[in-house]
Chains A and B, each alone.
Chain A
Amino acid sequence: AQSVTQLGSHVSVSEGALVLLRCNYSSSVPPYLFWYVQYPNQGLQLLLKYTSAATLVKGINGFEAEFKKSETSFHLTKPSAHMSDAAEYFCAVRPSNFGNEKLTFGTGTRLTIIP
Chain B
Amino acid sequence: NAGVTQTPKFQVLKTGQSMTLQCAQDMNHNSMYWYRQDPGMGLRLIYYSASEGTTDKGEVPNGYNVSRLNKREFSLRLESAAPSQTSVYFCASSEEGYYSYNEQFFGPGTRLTVL
Contacts and interface: CB of A to CB of B under 8 A. Distances in A.
Q: Do A and B bind each other?
A: yes
Interface of A: 9, 32, 34, 36, 41-46, 49, 51, 90, 94, 98-99, 101-103, 105-108
Contact of B101 (A49, A99, A105): A49
B108 A42 contact: yes
Which secondary structure characterizes the binding site on chain B?
Answer: loop
Interface in B32-58: 40-45, 48, 50, 58
B73 interface: no
Which secondary structure characterizes the binding site on chain A?
Answer: loop
The 5 closest A-B pairs by CB, nearest first: A43-B106, A107-B42, A105-B42, A105-B43, A44-B106
A101 B102 contact: yes
Interface of B: 4, 31, 40-45, 48, 50, 58, 90, 92, 94, 96-98, 101-104, 106-109
Given A41-B109, A90-B43, A103-B45, 9 more contacts: A34-B103, A43-B4, A43-B106, A98-B97, A98-B98, A101-B94, A102-B48, A105-B42, A108-B42
Given A9-B40, A102-B45, A105-B42, A43 B107 contact: yes
B96 A101 contact: yes
Contact of A49 (B97, B98, B103): B103
A94 B102 contact: yes
